């Protein structure tokens, strides 16, 4: 089922949402120079991209599947993408040392701080529930953005990526799809599991992570960046998931919550090797020029994850919600 259109967060997102409700697309002055990290741009981009996923239930005629490729909307989206992409490139060092980037990914410091460390050690249930609501923006469509890169690869790299995606989609079993396991966990935590339900709650740092995946998936020129992003997810997920299993058990969460993260501890430990040797190695061997793109994808994904982690930890340190709209019953006292 498609979600409802969200509430705008500024003039750009207001223009996009008004257009989807039937108004003429009136691009506000300064749209191409608005804050690339801000709520307005990120929500506008997210809404544009969502037309390529499941759309929205309350889009007026023409239907959202016709607006998906509307030239005026694509022109605005392109301007916002350029703004976001330029900010990402300016914020990371770049380079071509893929091996060095991967080595840094797998050399995790056990004493390092971060959201999963906090939840494992001393996080509260309201914080765990907020974290799951945040992550629903991606996990309820888990692996969908990465699927767009499949026709843009070839040979061994393509075959290996498809094998990982096969696991993400439950190896042919609908009830074992990772998106379905996440929905099961949400119900376990008394959260709504409807696709897109928490979009109005989701802050810009989360939207930016998902938007980067969608942008890289929809642009052939960014296929190497999407492989780099995918590498970050698969190479770092297992230890973080293990900490979240421990957090769920400490907090007394139900079996569906433990199951989702247990699945990722096991699956992503295997996927790590497939991504390194089966996808990245043959991709770069066939086209050495892809190295810089993969490095950019890794660095950009790490940057966005760091920005989200800082956003979350700052809010929780002040005992306040990290969400745009707090969850009912999720806050302490």
Distances (CA, A) of 307 to 127, 203, 209, 247: 18, 11, 10, 22
Confidence of residue 332 (pLDDT cuts 50, 70, 90): very low
26-40, 118-132, 303-317: segment of lowest average pLDDT: 26-40
Region 105-109: mean pLDDT is 75
Region 299-319: mean pLDDT is 97
Domain ranges of the chain: 11-90, 95-317
pLDDT value of position 333: 33
* C-beta of residue 196 within 8 angstroms of C-beta of residue 54: yes
127, pLDDT greater than 50: yes
Tell me, what DSSP letter sits at residue 275? I
pLDDT value of position 329: 56
Distances (CA, A) of 189 to 265, 291, 326: 20, 41, 15
Task: Give the model confidence (pLDDT) of 138-160 as tens digits.
Answer: 999 999 999 999 999 999 999 99
Name the fold adopted by 95-317: Heme Oxygenase; Chain A (1.20.910)
Backbone angles phi, psi at 35, to 5 degrees: -55, 115
245, pLDDT greater than 80: yes
Region 17-42: mean pLDDT is 93
> Both tokens of residue 194?
């409807």
108, pLDDT greater than 80: no
The C-alpha atoms of residue 240 and residue 238 are separated, in whole angstroms, by 6
pLDDT value of position 212: 98
The C-alpha atoms of residue 303 and residue 10 are separated, in whole angstroms, by 24
Total-model pTM: 0.95
Confidence of residue 331 (pLDDT cuts 50, 70, 90): very low
* C-beta of residue 16 within 8 angstroms of C-beta of residue 46: no
Task: For the chain, give the mean pLDDT.
Answer: 93
From the centroid of its chain, how far is CA 100?
24
């Amino acid at each position: 089922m498609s979600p409802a259109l969200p509430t705008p967060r500024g003039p750009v997102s207001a223009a996009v949402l008004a257009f989807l409700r039937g108004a003429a697309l009136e691009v506000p002055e300064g749209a191409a120079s608005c804050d690339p990290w801000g709520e307005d741009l990120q929500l506008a981009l997210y809404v544009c991209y969502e037309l390529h996923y499941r759309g929205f239930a309350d889009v007026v005629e023409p239907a959202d599947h016709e607006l998906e490729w509307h030239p005026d909307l694509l022109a605005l989206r392109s301007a916002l993408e350029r703004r976001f992409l330029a900010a990402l490139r300016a914020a990371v060092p770049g380079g071509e040392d893929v091996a060095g980037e991967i080595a840094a990914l797998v050399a995790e410091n056990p004493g390092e701080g971060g959201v999963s460390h906090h939840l494992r050690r001393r996080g509260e249930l309201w914080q765990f529930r907020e974290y799951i609501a945040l992550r629903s923006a991606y996990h309820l469509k888990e692996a969908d953005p990465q699927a767009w890169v499949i026709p843009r690869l070839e040979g061994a790299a393509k075959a290996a990526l498809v094998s990982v995606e096969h696991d993400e989609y439950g190896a042919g079993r609908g009830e074992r799809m990772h998106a379905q396991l996440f929905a099961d966990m949400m119900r376990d935590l008394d959260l709504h599991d409807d696709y897109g339900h928490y979009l109005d709650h989701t802050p810009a740092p989360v939207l930016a992570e998902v938007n980067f995946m969608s942008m890289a998936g929809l642009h052939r020129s960014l296929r190497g960046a999407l492989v780099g992003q995918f590498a970050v997810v698969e190479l770092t997920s297992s230890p973080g998931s293990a900490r979240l299993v421990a957090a769920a058990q400490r907090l007394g969460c139900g079996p569906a919550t433990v199951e989702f993260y247990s699945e990722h501890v096991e699956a992503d430990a295997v996927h790590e090797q497939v991504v390194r040797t089966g996808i990245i190695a043959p991709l770069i061997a066939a086209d050495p020029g892809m190295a810089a793109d993969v490095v950019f994808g890794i660095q950009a994904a790490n940057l966005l994850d760091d920005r989200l982690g800082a956003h979350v930890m700052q809010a929780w340190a002040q005992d306040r919600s990290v969400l745009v709209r707090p969850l009912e019953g999720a806050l302490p006292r």
